[in-house]
């Protein structure tokens, strides 16, 4: 069983340049690429790989240990990526096959009518042939995906491009990518594949083996000691020593955390790297452990429910008895934003939510969402939906929220997202004068408090009395979706649903017919004897 050191945290600082960094970065990355290759081709274990590295490149065991650890991690990530890609291809094949079958049924119906009566106008005929070409395209795409899946399944060797695939492909079109000669590209390629080295942390003074950190007497200053590999010692000596400072920002006591790790002999995993987009400055990243903050804000004092949407993040504070006390909507920009800008916006929103939880001394609840399957089937959806879904960064939000909750001792509860929007719209939207987002956030908070959500009695059928509440909400949700009932209409849900859901159509599950939203009657039978039901 692994030893628990506390809560993992990251500390980053800028360091002064040293010429040994360039050569050490290039050598380290070269050794790592060799290690990954040996692990795959020769099936070496980590211990065997360490011995091979020490003998082949004349380096110390600690450097070989760090390289072997990174090589194993890299291969594990590649295996996971291959597995995810395999699942994605299967989902794409399934989605396109389903869409093709539906299109075939639609084309058969159109063709039968055209055979009897002909096409009503030229546009209908053109639409038919356009759909026919679309079906051919789908079939070809399915065959192509199946070939990719078979090839991926039969491929044992895992491939990775160290240095970015985009830059690698640039060599084939030098002028289009801003290069006059291949030698200029080669310089950038070598630079991209170097500029980083890494050391595993150990529980000993300095927190590492070949790279160590010590606190100096001056406030905020630390000393970085790098024990160089043997191939570089003749040129630069056995070790180099540099000083750097750690500044606290955004409410983080980073210097205090580093002092605790150093004084408590915590392992400090250290990575030194160059940032090309910041004038090629060098930085040090320290991954270490701090004391875990106990959870002090729990659901005993209520819960903040969160509903994540494309444009807004709705936040609702629910008291312990299930009643709403506070609500807020936090706008989220994602259009025309870089990844860094989106991350910064997300961190600011998360900080605001956690401060609210700290103020109310309560827990936070979020929906346990996973859009992996939906994103794999995006090719069959509209462009607007795909743009929204691809930028719905629920994973980024969840990771930022988990990290912030750990730092402030806030309990984070993940709930099942089933029917939260429908329940909120029917039970609470009109009652409290909420919009659909804040109503759903209210349901999320209540679900985290383990409060039930009963469906209104007028929507129940006699045979459904002994069934679970979610089976009732599933029927309501399906009916709303099939009949395209707008959310604004549910402010008067009795008018919109009661007459419909208690109608004979509801009992017979004939949900495909169009229904009048005001009366609940079929649109083509508004004057039938059933109108008084």
> In the chain, where are the structural domains located?
295-453, 458-533
Residue 382: the pLDDT is 58
C-beta of residue 448 within 8 angstroms of C-beta of residue 365: yes
The backbone region for 17, taken as left when phi is positive above 0, alpha when psi lies in -120 to 50, beta otherwise, is: beta
Kindly report whether the global pTM for this prediction surpasses the value 0.85.
Answer: no
Whole-Å CA distances, 262 to 11, 203, 208, 216, 288: 13, 9, 10, 11, 9
Convert the pLDDT of each residue in 413-428 to its tens digit.
999 888 888 888 888 8
Enumerate residue ranges in the chain where pLDDT < 70. Answer: 1-5, 249-252, 370-393, 463-464, 493-533
Tokens of 474: 């599933």
Residue 455: the pLDDT is 80
C-beta of residue 99 within 8 angstroms of C-beta of residue 138: yes
Instruction: With CA atoms as reference, report the closest residue to 435 among 281, 313, 278, 289.
Output: 313
CA–CA separation, 371 vs 16, rounded Å? 43
Residue 341: the pLDDT is 82
Phi, psi of 242 (to 5 degrees): -135, 155
Whole-Å CA distances, 504 to 184, 222, 273, 295: 76, 77, 69, 52
DSSP, collapsed to helix, strand or coil, labels residue 281 as strand
CA–CA separation, 331 vs 324, rounded Å? 21
Q: What is the dihedral of CA 161, 166, 167, 170, to 10 degrees?
A: 120
CATH number of 295-453: 3.30.420.10
Convert the pLDDT of each residue in 300-319 to its tens digit.
999 999 998 877 889 999 99
Residue 528: the pLDDT is 36
CA–CA separation, 370 vs 84, rounded Å? 14
Residue 433: the pLDDT is 84
C-beta of residue 344 within 8 angstroms of C-beta of residue 396: no
Tokens of 79: 């295996």
DSSP, collapsed to helix, strand or coil, labels residue 41 as helix
């Amino acid at each position: 069983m692994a030893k628990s050191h506390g809560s993992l945290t990251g500390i980053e600082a800028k360091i002064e340049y040293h010429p040994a960094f360039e050569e050490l970065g290039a050598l380290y990355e070269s050794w790592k690429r060799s290690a990954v290759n040996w692990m795959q081709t020769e099936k070496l274990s980590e211990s065997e790989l360490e011995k091979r590295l020490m003998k082949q490149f004349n380096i110390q065991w600690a450097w070989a240990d760090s390289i072997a650890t990174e090589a194993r991690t890299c291969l594990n990530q590649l295996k996971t990526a291959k597995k995810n890609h395999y699942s994605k291809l299967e989902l794409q094949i399934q989605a396109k096959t389903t869409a093709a079958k539906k299109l075939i049924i639609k084309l058969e119906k159109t063709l039968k009518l055209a055979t009897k009566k002909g096409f009503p106008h030229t546009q209908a005929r053109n639409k038919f042939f356009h759909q026919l070409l679309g079906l051919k395209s789908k079939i070809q795409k399915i065959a192509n995906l199946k070939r990719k899946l078979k090839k991926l399944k039969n491929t044992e060797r895992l491939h990775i491009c160290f240095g970015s695939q985009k830059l690698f492909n640039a060599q084939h079109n030098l002028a289009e990518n801003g290069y006059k000669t291949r030698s200029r590209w080669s310089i950038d390629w070598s630079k991209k594949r170097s500029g980083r080295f890494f050391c595993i942390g150990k529980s000993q003074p300095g927190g590492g083996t070949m790279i160590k950190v010590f606190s100096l007497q001056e406030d905020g200053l630390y000393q970085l000691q790098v024990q160089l590999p043997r191939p570089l010692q003749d040129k630069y000596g056995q070790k180099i020593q540099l000083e750097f400072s750690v500044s606290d920002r955004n409410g983080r006591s980073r210097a205090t955390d580093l002092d605790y790790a150093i004084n408590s002999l915590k392992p400090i995993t250290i990575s030194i790297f160059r940032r090309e987009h910041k004038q090629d400055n060098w930085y040090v990243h320290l991954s270490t452990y701090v004391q875990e903050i106990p959870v002090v804000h729990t659901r005993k004092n209520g819960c903040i429910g969160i509903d994540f949407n494309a444009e807004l993040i709705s936040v609702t504070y629910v008291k312990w008895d299930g009643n709403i006390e506070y609500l807020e909507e936090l706008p989220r920009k994602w259009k025309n934003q870089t990844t860094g800008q989106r991350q910064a916006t997300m961190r600011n929103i998360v900080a605001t939510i956690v401060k609210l939880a700290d103020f109310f001394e309560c827990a936070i609840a979020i929906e346990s969402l996973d859009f992996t399957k939906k994103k794999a089937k995006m090719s069959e959806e509209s462009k607007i939906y795909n743009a929204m879904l691809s930028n719905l960064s629920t994973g980024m939000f969840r990771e930022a929220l988990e990290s912030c909750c750990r730092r402030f001792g806030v309990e984070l509860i993940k709930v099942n997202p089933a029917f939260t929007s429908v329940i909120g719209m029917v039970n609470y939207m009109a009652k409290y004068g909420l919009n659909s987002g804040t109503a759903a956030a209210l349901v999320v908070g209540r679900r985290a408090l383990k409060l039930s959500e009963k469906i209104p009695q007028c929507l129940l059928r006699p045979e459904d009395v002994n069934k679970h509440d979610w089976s009732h909400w599933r029927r309501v949700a399906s009916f709303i979706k099939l009949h395209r009932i707008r959310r604004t209409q549910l402010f008067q849900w009795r008018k919109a649903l009661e007459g419909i859901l208690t109608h004979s159509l509801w009992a017979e599950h004939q949900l495909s017919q169009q229904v009048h939203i005001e009366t609940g009657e079929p649109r083509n039978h508004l004057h039938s004897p059933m109108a008084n039901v």
